[in-house]
Amino acid sequence: MRRAFRWVDNDFQSKSYDDYKALEQKNVEAVEHLFEVTAFFEQVGFLVEKKFVDFEVVQDRLRQSVISNWQKLEPWVLALRKAKNDYAFGEHFQRLYERTVNDVKKR
């Protein structure tokens, strides 16, 4: 996971679905990193929504990571949703991001 997070943070530059498709053709491992990071935050968001994990605990440990990773991956997630006609992809991650931003604004 650390490798995936580091790659997304340092190397991911895609802003469109076409950029992603070009990346997919030349670096399959990189594409796996995108899905790994998204899946991690998707699961965290799901666990928070279902109240298996307290939101405050997530905020204490992951606040900045939630924000920075969503901002970096949002164009990719939205483009992939549209291209695959899967509008649920990353939905818990997105809601976790939105809740996190609202929490930061309240502080």
Q: What radius of gyration do the chain's Cα atoms show?
A: 14
Residue spans of the domains in the chain: they are 2-106
Query: In 3-state terms, what secondary structure has residue 26?
Result: helix
72, two tokens: 């970096």
Q: Give the C-alpha separation, 87 to 95, whole Å.
A: 13
pLDDT at 16 over 80: no
Q: Are 62 and 37 in contact (CB under 8 A)?
A: no
CA atoms 5, 82, 97, 47: torsion sign: negative
Dump pLDDT digits (tens) for 34-92.
999 999 999 999 999 999 999 999 999 999 999 999 999 999 999 999 999 999 999 99
Residue 1 DSSP code: -
What is the C-alpha separation between 6 and 30, in angstroms, rounded?
11
Q: What pLDDT, on a 0 to 100 scale, did the predictor assign at position 60?
A: 95
Q: Is the pTM of this model over 0.95?
A: no
| Spatial CA neighbour of 75 closest among 24, 21, 11, 16 | 16
